[in-house]
Structure 1
């Protein structure tokens, strides 16, 4: 499993984060009004929803890795 620390994360707006690795866009995370975080793939399709930001980051990184291995 790839660790979230292998990716570069940037907060580009309040509650909105983008992830990249080696110059490639991995996906993004959007905070919901209820405090949860939606992990989105590189095409902004929802992957999953999480209570913690770091769990959402892990979902994006793991999803990208599984998509890249097909």
Structure 2
């Protein structure tokens, strides 16, 4: 997954404000829109990574965490 970009991943909006990402068939994590408009990025185990200001930032956060094998 090294060198992957958010454009390489597949992102699906599965509900209003809720997105899931995958890359080459592997689940990356998900993103939930918070009531204040920020985005909660979560890993493949739905553990919080961090809160982001916009959706592209949250997508990059999920992808980078997956690439590094990070878990909080």
Q: TM-score, normalised by structure 1?
A: 0.92
**Which residue in 2 is equivalent to 1:10?**
12
Partner of residue 49, structure 1: 51
For residues 24-63 of structure 1, the aligned pairs below 5 Å read 24-63=26-65
User: 1:3: Cα distance to partner?
Assistant: 1.2
Runs of 4+ in structure 1 over 4 Å off: none
TM-score by length of 2: 0.90
- Count the aligned residue pairs: 68
Unaligned runs of 5+ in 2: none
Partner deviation per Cα, 1:36-57 (whole Å, 9 max, x = no partner): 0000000000001011000000
Gaps of 5+ in 1: none
**Partners of 1:13 and 1:45 in 2: how far apart?**
19
Greater per-residue helix proportion: 1
